[in-house]
Each structure stands twice: as structure tokens, then as C-alpha cells.
């Protein structure tokens, strides 16, 4: 049996974006929360915290706004993640 992986259908939602902030997670900055790792929404430029952070704001944004793909904003990391498919893209 040969397993063929199809490309993520959400890749079409990626746009050229500029991070809304580089100071930290947008929601944590507003509420005084803490974050561990930052993620950039590749549809609108929202900066949220990772699932390792208490607020998990990047995932909440992705699900609430329908923007499924993020990339890491951590130094030295160059990967993208689709929250809908639960996979690197």
C-alpha cells in the first residue's frame, strides 16, 4: 500500500503579512498574561502565544477567525503549522 499525502488545502489562505507586534502575544500584552513561544498568523499578521503558553491565543485566533496556518516567530525556527489539519505544512 502506498500512502500519498496531499498538500494542505489551507495553504491558499497564506498572505504576505507583517506582524502586528514584535513585543509579544497581542492578547497576553493586553491582559498581563505570560507566553512561552510566539506564533504569527499567516493570513492577517496576528501574533499569539503557543499551545505551551497558558493562554494558547494563537490556536484560539486560528479557530475563532478561521485563519488556520501560523509560523513560528521564535529565533532560529522556520516552520509552519495548520491548526485544522494538525500538521506541519
Tell me the pLDDT tens digit for each residue of 15-73.
999 999 999 999 999 999 999 999 999 999 999 999 999 999 999 999 999 999 999 99
Residue 51 included in any domain = yes
Residue 39 included in any domain = yes
Instruction: For residue 71, give the CATH number of its domain.
Output: 3.30.40.10
Tell me the pairing of strands 80-82 and 69-72.
antiparallel
Residue 33 included in any domain = yes
Those residues with Cβ within 8 angstroms of residue 17's Cβ, 6 or more apart along the chain or in another chain: 40, 41, 42, 43, 44, 45
Residue 3 included in any domain = no
Q: Residue 76: phi, psi to the nearest 5? A: 80, -5
Domain assignment of residue 25, given as a range: 10-88
Residue 65 C-alpha cell reads as 477567525
Residue 58 included in any domain = yes
The predicted model gives 69-85 an average pLDDT of: 97
- How many Å apart are CA 15 and CA 41, to the nearest integer? 9
How many structural domains is the chain composed of? Answer: 1
Residue 2 included in any domain = no
Tell me the pairing of strands 38-41 and 87-88.
unpaired
Amino acid at each position: 500500500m502506498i500512502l500519498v499525502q496531499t498538500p494542505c488545502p489551507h495553504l491558499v489562505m497564506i498572505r504576505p503579512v507583517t506582524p502586528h507586534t514584535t513585543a509579544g502575544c497581542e492578547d497576553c500584552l493586553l491582559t498581563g498574561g505570560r507566553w512561552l513561544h510566539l506564533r504569527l498568523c499567516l493570513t492577517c499578521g496576528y501574533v499569539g502565544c503557543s499551545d505551551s503558553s497558558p493562554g494558547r491565543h494563537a490556536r484560539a485566533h486560528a479557530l475563532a477567525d478561521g485563519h488556520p496556518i501560523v509560523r513560528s516567530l521564535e529565533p532560529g525556527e522556520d516552520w509552519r503549522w495548520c491548526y485544522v489539519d494538525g500538521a506541519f505544512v
